[in-house]
Chains A and B, each alone.
Chain A
Amino acid sequence: MTASAASSSGLFVPIYEVSTELFISLDGLRMPARRGETVIAVLLRNAAALGRSEFDGRSRAGFCLMGACQDCSLWSEDGGRIRACMTMVEDGMALVTAPPLAET
């Protein structure tokens, strides 16, 4: 298996070789990523959650992984919502776990 030691804090275990070709960030925390990875794969091999439920404050980390539940919703700093499981990484992507504006 090619899981790197650095991924031990996350939920997901990558099956491919991870490498640093670009960076994305979640709530200001920078994470290395490889081209062709999905946002959720990068975030969840580094972290154990994608934010918190606005209803009970408990951690959330996606559920369907195919765009149907919206449990992996994240926001770009300008307020646009993305689904982490349906989005590919791009260099410099800066994401936050709660909507920055009134957008929900």
Chain B
Amino acid sequence: MSGPSQDAPPVIVGAGPAGLAAAGAFVEAGIHPIVLDESDRPGGQGTRRLTPLLCDKAEPLFGARASRRRQEREAREDHILSLCDYRANTVVWGAFDGGLELLSGGACQDLRYAHLLLATGATDAILPLPGWTLPGVYSLGGAQVALKRHGSFIGRKIVFAGFSPLLYLAAAQYCRLGLREITVLDTTPLRGKLHAAIGMARYAAGTLRQGLSLMAELRRAGVRIRAAAELLAVEGKDHVEAFRFRDAAGREERLDCDAVAIGFGLRPETQLAELAGAAFEFDPVLRHWFPRVSPDGQAGPALWIAGDGARTMGAEGARFAGRLAALSMLQAMGRGEAVKSDEMRRLRRRLEHARRFQLAAAKAFRLPGEMLSRLPGETVLCRCERVTLGEVRAAVPRASGPVEVNRVKAITRCGMGRCQGRYCGVALGEVVAEATGRDLAEVGRLRAQAPIRPIPMSAAMRDAAE
């Protein structure tokens, strides 16, 4: 197949903060990009729009000023998208030399590109716990999506557990909408907290202030906060009934609850980047594999990546990165006259600052990998195929040659299920590293395979036949 001409419109995957900022930069330059997004409404995850069913709840949820700002931003975004070839409800399930595979309204389509920007964001990094497959346990990001998109609380008595700046934010949002029976179990060690505070004071004092005021708000509302908690198990027969943990003083406690939200920071969504040809590197501080990108987000001759899918840095950093990537793409498209080099320099500086802040914070919010080594062998590690920790530990000595995660996956099926390793991959790496006594960087990363989202059999067959 021949590629499209060099002046074909640029293609953006993802209408979150990075994708929308990039679209805005293209529109300013008089170019109308194709914007593909899986959701029915733009906005991404962290900055997801509120369901129209909750239109009267925006003020209590975000505050009067912030909800006005949100409205203005959404109007701006709608205007930008009206000038793009914006395709909502479109799943991108594969990328093959110079083309994307789309699924929309049940039909598959092949889209050739000359310049591609992936802004696919991040999902929660998850560590398993005994009982985490029970109905009522959701990812932390999912608990926020439950509010904003599904207009619902995930339960009546909720435990928010793990570590993440989002932990307190999610709990506060539930609180503002009227839920009172909330407990926050923060697994960050106290020493880590201090480091984080120092890092934040240095790079983002505003974020530190926001964090402190969130905690004060939660305390005033009677929310219980336990620091340096060790998570032990979710209990229940057919759904969540209780949560067991150990507090900072080593005392075990059992909380009655009917829902749990867990999250241990964010991991980048990189399947498409891999299929589109990006190389990867391990970040020893963030402890995840990221696509290798230039300071402007370029990952290949026709490939750019921006936002949390390239480097975790939140919505604001994603906007800088998205805009910078678009400017870099304009240069590559021979439209350099539309780009001001001092703007690019300014964006690069801001991005570097956001990155330093992330690294400072990450030093505190380390994955409690040692938590895994204490979990019983019957704990489910891969929720899709129900592979246990014990099975994975036992498979390590059976793998021949240097053990890496893809071999363990082949033996146990851990990571082969329908979530494609999104929710077991982080823990799988930690477990294999521990069992082999090797560094996390040495045990590799789960390889992506198309389709990265399940597609109808008919579409898959057609594709195999080609």
With A14-B151, A53-B386, A68-B123 as given contacts, are A60 and B133 in contact (CB-CB < 8 Å)? yes
- Contact between B238 and A59, CB atoms less than 8 A apart: yes
Which residues of A are at the interface with B, using a C-beta cutoff of 8 A?
A: 1, 11-16, 34, 36-38, 40-41, 44-45, 48-49, 53, 55-56, 58-71, 73, 80-81, 85-86, 88, 102-103
Taken residue by residue from 104 to 127, chain B's Cβ proximity to chain A (1 for < 8 Å, 0 otherwise) reads as: 001000000000000000011000
With A37-B151, A69-B423, A70-B384 as given contacts, are A61 and B123 in contact (CB-CB < 8 Å)? no
With A53-B386, A66-B45 as given contacts, are A34 and B53 in contact (CB-CB < 8 Å)? yes
B423 cross-chain contacts in A, Cβ below 8 A: 63-64, 68-69
Interface of A, helix, strand, loop or mixed by DSSP: loop
State the CA gap A41–B150 with chains docked (Å). Answer: 6
A88 cross-chain contacts in B, Cβ below 8 A: 40
With A53-B386, A59-B238 as given contacts, are A65 and B150 in contact (CB-CB < 8 Å)? yes
With A36-B53, A63-B423, A65-B150 as given contacts, are A55 and B136 in contact (CB-CB < 8 Å)? no
- Contact between B456 and A13, CB atoms less than 8 A apart: no
State the CA gap A102–B457 with chains docked (Å). Answer: 9
Is there a chain A Cβ closer than 8 Å to B244's Cβ? no
State the CA gap A24–B285 with chains docked (Å). Answer: 48
A103 cross-chain contacts in B, Cβ below 8 A: 456-457
State the CA gap A66–B154 with chains docked (Å). Answer: 14
A44 cross-chain contacts in B, Cβ below 8 A: 152
B143 cross-chain contacts in A, Cβ below 8 A: 65
Is there a chain A Cβ closer than 8 Å to B135's Cβ? yes
Query: 28 A-B contacts, Cβ less than 8 Å apart?
Result: A11-B136, A12-B146, A12-B155, A13-B152, A37-B53, A37-B151, A38-B149, A44-B152, A48-B239, A49-B135, A55-B385, A59-B135, A63-B423, A64-B123, A64-B142, A65-B146, A65-B149, A66-B142, A67-B453, A68-B123, A69-B384, A69-B418, A71-B384, A73-B418, A73-B454, A81-B454, A85-B145, A86-B38
State the CA gap A74–B31 with chains docked (Å). Answer: 40
